[in-house]
C-alpha cells in the first residue's frame, strides 16, 4: 500500500465541502487504497485550520472527521530537511513528513508545493490528479485479478 501525505487545504476541503474532489480522494482512504502519514505538527495544523472554518459551517462538525483521520494515519517523526525547500516555510513540515514516511505523493492545491514538482522523489499532486491515479490504480488491480 502506498503512503500519502495530505496538505491542510486537501483535508479542510474534504471536511467542509462534501462534494469536493478532496472528499472523493478521502473515500480512497476509507476503501484502503492508500494510507496516510502525519506528524504532530501536520495534524495540529489540520486542527487549527479546521477550527477557523468551523464557525462558517455550523452544521458540519469537524471533530469527527479529524478523529477518523487520527485513527487512520500512521504517526511518524519528521526528518530534518537540511534547508528550507518551499517558498512558504509553513510547507516544509509537510515535506519533512512525506520524506520520513517515504510517501509517494503529497496531495495539495498549494502552488508553492506544486512548483517543487518532485522533491526527494515525492510527487506533488493535486487532488484531481490524485483521484485520477486512484481510479487508474483501481482499474489496473481489477484487470490483474
Residue 123 lies in a domain: no
Task: Tell me if 59 is assigned to some domain.
Answer: yes
Q: Is residue 81 part of a domain?
A: yes
Mean pLDDT (the chain) is 91
Q: What's this model's pTM, rounded to 2 decimal places?
A: 0.90
Q: Which has more pLDDT, 80 or 30? A: 30
Which three cell numbers, joined as nine digits, stand for 72?
487512520
15 in a domain, yes or no? yes
Q: For residue 139, is it within any domain?
A: no
41 CA to centre of own chain: 13
Does residue 121 lie within any of the structural domains? Answer: no
**How many CB atoms are closer than 10 A to CB 135?**
13
The residue segments making up the domain with residue 68 are 3-116
**Higher pLDDT pick, 79 / 46:** 46
Half-sphere exposure of 140 (CA within 13 A, CB side): 7
Give pLDDT tens digits for 20-65: 999 999 999 999 999 999 999 999 999 999 999 999 999 898 999 9
Look at residue 137 and tell me if it is in a domain.
no
Structure confidence at residue 105 (pLDDT): 97
Whether residue 129 lies inside any domain: the answer is no
What's the number of domains the chain is made of? Answer: 1
At 143, the pLDDT band (50, 70, 90 cuts) reads low
CATH number at residue 69: 3.40.50.1010
Amino acid at each position: 500500500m502506498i503512503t500519502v501525505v495530505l496538505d491542510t487545504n486537501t483535508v479542510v476541503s474534504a471536511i467542509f465541502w462534501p462534494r469536493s474532489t478532496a472528499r472523493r480522494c478521502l473515500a480512497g482512504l476509507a476503501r484502503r487504497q492508500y494510507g496516510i502519514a502525519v506528524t504532530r505538527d501536520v495534524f495540529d495544523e489540520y486542527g487549527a485550520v479546521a477550527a477557523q472554518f468551523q464557525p462558517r459551517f455550523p452544521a458540519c462538525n469537524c471533530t469527527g472527521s479529524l478523529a477518523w483521520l487520527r485513527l487512520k494515519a500512521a504517526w511518524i517523526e519528521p526528518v530534518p530537511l537540511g534547508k528550507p525547500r518551499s517558498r512558504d516555510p509553513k510547507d516544509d513540515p509537510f515535506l519533512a513528513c512525506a520524506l520520513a514516511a517515504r510517501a509517494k505523493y503529497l496531495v495539495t492545491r498549494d502552488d508553492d508545493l506544486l512548483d517543487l514538482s518532485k522533491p526527494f522523489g515525492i510527487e506533488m499532486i493535486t487532488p484531481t490528479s490524485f483521484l485520477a491515479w486512484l481510479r487508474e490504480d483501481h482499474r489496473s488491480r481489477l484487470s490483474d485479478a
